[in-house]
Copies of this chain bind each other. A is one copy, B any other.
Amino acid sequence: MTLSDRQVNILRYIARFVDERNYPPTIRQIGTACSISSTSVVKYNLSKLENEELIVREAEVSRGLSLNWDKLEATGLLDEIGGPASRAINNLSDRVVSFFSVPVLGNIAAGEPIRVDPTDRASADEWIDLNEALFRDREKLFALRVQGDSMVDASVLDGDIVILRQQERAENGEMVAAWIEGLEETTLKHFYRDEKKSQVVHLRPANPAYSEMTFPANQVSVMGKVVSVIRQLE
């Protein structure tokens, strides 16, 4: 039997969801993600998948489903649904732990007299969960790779990756990616509404040496808010 696009989509979503959160999605989450309006249709398709033994389902248990990686691999679906993670998942089978935290060993600053010991991970007073802390609400996240030096004024360098959460509205001072009608460009700037004229917005670079830009509000559409900047140095 051959799977419908929708079913492959469901598999893909489940895979990604479990990867990211360590627990399976509900049928409603699946439905929303795969543009299925009715929960019964999700159930219907899950049953299909279960018959194919591509997933395992526990009846009447919330989130009671899991992927059958072996079967997925056997049918060659792994690449299709797994995206970049597929191969590693394959290697690790079902024992994949998707959790990743790093000990914060201290603060660093000029004049700081604390000598940190990178070896002593146990004494860390704080841990950063890179997945959880930095990237909540992942459905709405996306990334942009910064090109050129146009954003150095905000300490965002060429090659950096900015993580954004999709949203139309922005609060004053937030760094957003905005599309500017007329200029025909997407840019990264701090967002301010005009205090007096509500239909005017200001896009302000972080560095005062650069000049602020002002636009009619209807010319600026906010695509998302920057929630994180990531720079790779190796």
- Listed in ascending order, the chain A residues whose CB lies under 8 Å from chain B are 16, 18-24, 26, 53, 56, 58, 61-71, 74-76, 83-85, 88-89, 91-92, 94-116, 118-119, 121-122, 124, 127-135, 138, 140-148, 150, 152, 155-157, 161-166, 174-175, 177, 179, 184-188, 223-234
Known: A109-B147, A161-B128. A67 touches B99 (CB 8 A): yes
Known: A21-B58, A63-B62, A99-B98. A227 touches B223 (CB 8 A): no
Apart from the given pairs A24-B63, A110-B150, A112-B186, 16 other A-B contacts in the complex at a CB distance below 8 Å: A22-B94, A23-B61, A23-B65, A68-B99, A70-B101, A70-B127, A84-B101, A95-B96, A102-B135, A106-B144, A108-B186, A108-B187, A110-B148, A124-B142, A130-B135, A228-B231
Q: Which of B63, B179, B232 contacts A133 (CB 8 A)?
A: B232
Asked if B56 and A99 make an inter-chain contact with CB atoms under 8 angstroms apart, the answer reads yes
Question: With A and B bound together, what is the CA distance between A118 and B109 in angstroms?
Answer: 37
Question: Copy number in this complex?
Answer: 2
Known: A89-B97, A110-B185. A134 touches B230 (CB 8 A): yes
Known: A69-B99, A98-B100, A99-B98. A185 touches B111 (CB 8 A): yes
A18 → B minimal CB distance (Å): 8
Asked if B103 and A74 make an inter-chain contact with CB atoms under 8 angstroms apart, the answer reads yes
Asked if A233 and B227 make an inter-chain contact with CB atoms under 8 angstroms apart, the answer reads yes
Asked if B229 and A103 make an inter-chain contact with CB atoms under 8 angstroms apart, the answer reads no
**Residues of chain B contacted by A146 (CB below 8 angstroms):** 107-109
Question: With A and B bound together, what is the CA distance between A74 and B123 in angstroms?
Answer: 9
Asked if A110 and B187 make an inter-chain contact with CB atoms under 8 angstroms apart, the answer reads yes
Mind listing 29 A-B residue pairs with CB under 8 Å? Answer: A16-B101, A21-B66, A22-B66, A53-B129, A56-B99, A56-B132, A74-B103, A74-B121, A84-B101, A84-B127, A97-B98, A98-B100, A103-B142, A104-B145, A105-B142, A107-B144, A107-B145, A108-B146, A108-B177, A108-B186, A109-B146, A116-B177, A128-B161, A131-B131, A134-B230, A155-B156, A155-B157, A229-B231, A229-B233
